Amino acid sequence: MTLGVAILTMGTRPKELAALLSSVRAQTTSATRTVVVGNGCSLADLGLPDWVEVVELTENLGVTGGRNVALDHLRDMDLVLDLDDDGLLVSDTDFERIVGLFEADPRLGIVGFRIADETGFTQRRHVPRLRSGDPMRGGRVTTFLGGAHVLSGKMLAQVGHWPDAFFFSHEETDMAWRALDAGWEIRYEPDLLLQHPRTSPARHAVFYRTNARNRVYLARRHLPAPLVPVYLGIWVAMTMARTRDAAGLRAWFAGFKEGWRTTCGPRRPLRWSTVWTMTRLGRPPVL
């Protein structure tokens, strides 16, 4: 199977990007192609190796837009691996393991990595299960992590690319729901590890706004009508209970309103059988 690697960068982490590319190059099974997308930046001064395909965008298209550009360049690949530019592959056999997983299961659509910092600690938000904080428990799940994941080319051909309107936040949930509704499986593989600094999503200036807006987008695009008020009601209550930053709350509710007022793409509600499958896997699409 052919494997393409896609790395999105704003050019602000040259040392981390160089280390990541070295870990890509060191794999015992080589990637077929590696694409680095400069999201609204020039990469000319980074000295990227000649085996890397460089794409420079004149404006920042966000995570979704930038990843879609990479997918356009890797459309002939059987598998596409997305990696954060400040991550690091610890094992040199990851690509071999990835190919083996997809060769063994023709209905496997997405594989998510475990993410841990340099001490081996995995943040709770990086464990894709509701009732388990154990990062070493692998298996079928209903979502995956944006920092490191593999997408099947056949799955992408069926369900489509990333939702451009999202820009940043919850784009993985959108992709996961579409994949599950089309009958594809998602697996969390803790033996695939991306070393990544411990961070908070709130470090991004647009976090509160896009977090709320994109939750509304998810509901509008994918939830059966009876679940829309349940999903959004739960997240309004949880946000008010968790958020202590008044400015953050104002931005969140502004984003919530924006989610109703702006275009989010076509509506394709999940089948009730998909809702049941997600519930059996431990995460109904209201949480």
Does the pLDDT of residue 94 top 90, yes or no?
yes
How far is it, in rounded angstroms, from Cα 55 to Cα 52?
Answer: 10
- Does 183 fall in a domain? yes
Query: Which pLDDT score, from 0 to 100, does residue 203 have?
Result: 53
pLDDT of residue 205: 55
Q: How far apart are the first and last CA of the chain?
A: 35
Q: Are residues 148 and 232 in the same domain?
A: no
Specify if 102 maps to a domain: yes
What is the reported pLDDT for 204? Answer: 52
Give the tens place of pLDDT for each residue, 152-176. Answer: 999 999 999 999 999 999 999 999 9
Same domain, 33 and 165: yes
> Taking residues 89-103, what's their average pLDDT?
98
Residue predicted with more confidence, 202 or 278? 278
Q: Do 215 and 126 fall into the same domain?
A: no
Q: Is residue 134 part of a domain?
A: yes
Tell whether 242 and 141 lie within a shared domain.
no
Residue-wise pLDDT tens digits, 109-123: 999 999 999 999 999
Amino acid code (one letter) for 44? A
Asked whether residue 211 falls in the same domain as residue 85, the answer is no
Exposed e or buried b for every residue in 58-77, given b needs 16+ CB within 10 A?
Answer: eeebbbbbbbbbbbebbeeb
Q: Strand, coil or helix: what is 116?
A: strand
Average pLDDT along the chain: 95
Structure tokens at 234: 């739960």
- Residue 251 structural domain: 204-272
pLDDT of residue 244 exceeding 90: no
What is the share, in percent, of the chain residues with pLDDT greater than 70? 98
Give this prediction's pTM.
Answer: 0.95
Q: How many CA atoms lie within 13 A of 80 on its CB side?
A: 27
Report if residue 278 sits inside a domain. no
Residue 60 pLDDT level (bands cut at 50, 70, 90): very high
